[in-house]
Chains A and B, each alone.
Chain A
C-alpha cells in the first residue's frame, strides 16, 4: 500500500468545514431577513456588490462545495456504492472544481 493522494481533497474539505460552520449560518440569516423585509429595507444588491463581501462569498462558496462533495462522496460509498467509488469521486470533485471556476468568474464580475 502506498501513501494516498487524498490530502489533495482533504485540505479543502477540512477548510470548508470550518468556513461553512462559521459563515454559512449568518449568510442564511441575512438572506432570510432580506426575504422577509423586502427590497426596500435591505439593499442586497449593493451589499453583494461590495468587493469584500464578494471575496468572502467566493471562499465560502468554493470551500463549502469541496466540503459538501467530499461528504456526499463518502455517504454514497458508505451506503453501498463502493464499486463505483472512483467514478463518484471524480464526479464529486469535478463538480466542486467547476463550481469554484464559476464562483471565480461570477465573483469577479467577469460573468454577468
Chain B
C-alpha cells in the first residue's frame, strides 16, 4: 500500500469545550487536523486555534517540556501536550481534556489556585539557617549535599501528578505529590532550617498520611522527580521522629 503524502494525511482530535458564558454544560468538539510525523498535540491545538477555531482556549508556553504550562489529559492520561507526539496515536482519534481533579475555568484551562496556596503554606523556599550579607559570601554546599535533594528540585509544577493521583481526586485537601516533593526538596537542603516548621503541614493528616502509595504520580511525572519516593521517605523520617519524641521525650530536638 502506498502511503499518502504527508500533507494529505489527517488525524482527528476530540477536544473538551466549556464556554461558561454560553453553555451550562461542557461538550466535545471534533476537529480534523493535518497529520505531520513531527507534530505534537500542542502543534495540533495551535493549528486549530490559528486556522480553524479561534475560540479554543488553553495554556502553553515553552513547547519544550520545561515550563509545565501545557499539561492536559490525552486519551485519559495526563501528559505535557508539547511532549505527546501525534505519531504515537495515529491513525486513531485523540481525546484532549483538561487535567483531571481540577475545576475547569474554560475549555482546557484549569484552576490551580489550590496548588499555589499549598506551595505557599509549605514555605517552598530556602529559610536560611543564618543570615548572611552578600559580602560574607555564599552558603557552601558539597556535591554530596546537593545529591540528597537534587531529584526533587526538578519539578516544573506541571500538575500531571495531581491529575493522576486518585487520592487527590477523593480528597482535595490532600497536599499532593508535587507540593510534598518540593517541601522535601527544601527539608533535605543543607542550607535550609525550616524542616520542623514544614512538618506541621507535611506530617499532618492531609499531608503525607493521606497518601496510599498508589504510585501514579511518579509514573506520569515528565521530569522523573519521583514524588512517591519523596512522600514515602518523608513517612519514614516522620515516623522515626514521632517515636523518638514519644519514647525519649527528654531528648533534645
Contacts and interface: CB of A to CB of B under 8 A. Distances in A.
Interface of A: 1-8, 10-11, 14, 74, 77-78, 80, 82
A11 B167 contact: no
Nearest to B199: A3
A4 B200 CA distance: 8
B200 A3 contact: yes
Contact of A1 (B167, B171, B207, B242): B207
Contacts of A77: 170
B204 A4 contact: yes
B202 to A, nearest CB: 9
B204 A7 contact: no
Interface string B79-95: 00000000000000000
Interface residues of B, number: 21
Nearest to B175: A1
A6 B235 CA distance: 10
A10 B239 contact: yes
Contact of B203 (A3, A11, A14, A78): A3
Given A7-B242, A10-B235, A10-B239, A1 B200 contact: yes
Contacts of A78: 166-167, 170, 212
Contacts of A3: 199-200, 203-204, 238, 242
Contacts of A2: 200, 204
A82 B207 contact: no
B209 A4 contact: yes
A5 B203 CA distance: 9
B195 interface: no
Interface string B214-250: 0000000000000000000001101101110000000
Contacts of A10: 209, 235, 239
Nearest to B204: A1
Given A74-B212, A82-B171, A4 B203 contact: yes
B110 to A, nearest CB: 23
A78 B241 CA distance: 27
Interface in B28-61: none
Q: A5, A6, A11, A82 — which one has the most chain B CB atoms within 10 A of its CB?
A: A6
B145 interface: no
A3 B203 CA distance: 5
A78 B243 CA distance: 27
A112 B166 CA distance: 46
A71 to B, nearest CB: 8
B206 interface: yes
A60 B241 CA distance: 25
B205 interface: yes
Contacts of A4: 203-205, 207, 209
8 contacts: A1-B204, A2-B204, A3-B203, A5-B242, A7-B239, A10-B235, A10-B239, A74-B212
A56 to B, nearest CB: 23
Nearest to A79: B170
